[in-house]
Structure 1
């Protein structure tokens, strides 16, 4: 009798693109603290501490089809956080390349790999912006005329459209999260906290009108993680009341 060699079952992993950024780092840490062992992080460089913790590293770009195809193999869910934060409209091309092209590439690769769940990190700037005192939420139509004034918010708005159009097969679930300004520890690249430092350093010469929401990055990370198994949720916004 010929004995067949048993094939080891490989557990599918959770892919986190941009998992080394401000929000991504908190998501990875919270997953690890909860005992999650099947994590995969895609970034240009993955730190040693993540690799030592058992996180599978895929070093590459979300705009590179080969890198993304490799990252999407054997994945059960994707947290798509990869992006570029800039308040300079001269960075529009770079942000569009990452947010639009990268998202299309990822959605196509994820579909090809059979991934059914994706949680996309967008911004409250695609929803919660007005020129009056009206408080809006995710049920309101996007204020496109206002959004298009800022390259970052415009790129995030069109990123959402790209995800909706390209990750919509039967059985696929897309959740778009729209957190407001992230604040908290471990913002090593100062992607969110630089305006605070500039204010404290008296580099902000005036204070414009209007309001701004913010959320603790650790709370936002917990909210993202909680959505992985909430199949009834399709779209959400993560923010705090205006203060």
Structure 2
């Protein structure tokens, strides 16, 4: 039986850590390797770590020759909520980096499968109501932010590369991820609570919002990898060249999700004590504030909180169908949201104390 080695690119990030942990614990894989710009953080015992950059095709080719993986999982990406000055970096990592990794994988004698950790953010438009995977994706001419545009370009490049040089590819489009080692969702909610922003609500809280725990996200990658290995001859349950939405399968209104985190952190505020601000007002205000930032920083900075991208999250529906993932990958999300929030909150609070 040939060895099944996996290389997780970006495996030292939040989602990457959970993916690595899942693969290390699964006996299907003989060894798990990670490439990261900073391989010293978020390490998992039993995994093998390598330093490298997606922007260097030569480094990628050398690493693949050394590791000889049969599967690559590409989960590296800049933070989607950075400053506008990150546009060049989004292009370098999400577009050029993905192209480099695909080129190296196709040329490799060892790599047979390729999974891209994509995002629901690649989909066109602000309001998403139980979208299916065949809905329109963002393009360079879309009104989406640069993170979404470059992730969409990378997503399509991975799908287009299917069957090139015998490579089998697929994309997993994750909803907003939360959980232990979370660097955005739960720490952001905790900061909002500590600064008193939990006293305000934007919109009527009727917009359903999908999220996914890091544990469920990792589980989906393991299932996708095994599905690619099956290679059905009759085309049933086809997974290669396909994209799949991945969520907890249990959407709740946006502010309800935030209050689950605040409540776990000890917040006792009742809905009657919350001031509701009209969504149209905050969206208009965010547009004005962003324009002022653009004028006075020459487009290099964006507001931290009053940003249209963030305001859209709070008041527009963001839900996605996971029927395809259930049917073809066998994905059945574990419903333990409260436990995953608790773990993420404990981690965020501990990180705050260590940073103080």
Same fold per TM (> 0.5)? yes
Pair 1:117-2:110 in alignment: no
Pair 1:15-2:12 in alignment: no
Correspondence for 1:155: 150
Correspondence for 1:138: 133
Q: Tell me the CA shift for residue 83 of structure 1.
A: 1.0
Contact in 1 for aligned 2:36/2:52 (Cα 8 Å): yes
Contact in 2 for aligned 1:79/1:118 (Cα 8 Å): yes
Correspondence for 1:80: 74
Q: Tell me the CA shift for residue 71 of structure 1.
A: 2.5
Distance in 1 of aligned mates of 2:141 and 2:214: 26
- Greater radius of gyration (CA): 2
Matched position secondary structure for 1:178: strand
Distance in 1 of aligned mates of 2:146 and 2:94: 11
CA deviation digits over 1:65-115, x for unaligned, max 9?
A: 122112222110111001111323331111111000100000000111132
Q: Of residues 251, 267, 281 in structure 2, which corresponds to 1:242?
A: 251
Contact in 2 for aligned 1:182/1:215 (Cα 8 Å): yes
Distance in 2 of aligned mates of 1:172 and 1:203: 51
List aligned pairs for 1:21-60, cutoff 5 A: 21-35=13-27, 36-47=29-40, 50=43, 53-60=45-52
TM-score by length of 2: 0.58
Q: Which has the higher mean CA deviation after the structures are superposed, 33-42 or 58-67?
A: 33-42
TM-score by length of 1: 0.83
Q: Which has the higher mean CA deviation after the structures are superposed, 194-203 or 171-180?
A: 194-203
Residues 195, 168 of structure 1: CA spacing in aligned structure 2 closer, same or farther, 3 A cutoff?
A: farther
Correspondence for 1:3: none
CA deviation digits over 1:34-55, x for unaligned, max 9?
A: 244411100012238847x342
Matched position secondary structure for 1:79: strand
Q: Can you give the 5+ residue segments of structure 1 that lack an aligned partner in the other structure?
A: 1-8
Correspondence for 2:179: 184
Q: Report how many residues are paired.
A: 231
Pair 1:126-2:122 in alignment: yes
Distance in 2 of aligned mates of 1:150 and 1:28: 29
Contact in 1 for aligned 2:138/2:148 (Cα 8 Å): no
Contact in 2 for aligned 1:138/1:236 (Cα 8 Å): yes
Distance in 2 of aligned mates of 1:242 and 1:143: 23
Correspondence for 1:164: 159
Distance in 1 of aligned mates of 2:250 and 2:134: 16
Matched position secondary structure for 1:34: coil
Residues 65, 43 of structure 1: CA spacing in aligned structure 2 closer, same or farther, 3 A cutoff?
A: same
Correspondence for 1:195: 188
Contact in 1 for aligned 2:17/2:42 (Cα 8 Å): no
Contact in 2 for aligned 1:126/1:156 (Cα 8 Å): yes
Q: Tell me the CA shift for residue 128 of structure 1.
A: 7.4
Q: Of residues 62, 76, 81 in structure 1, which corresponds to 2:54?
A: 62
Distance in 2 of aligned mates of 1:169 and 1:14: 19
Residues 108, 211 of structure 1: CA spacing in aligned structure 2 closer, same or farther, 3 A cutoff?
A: same
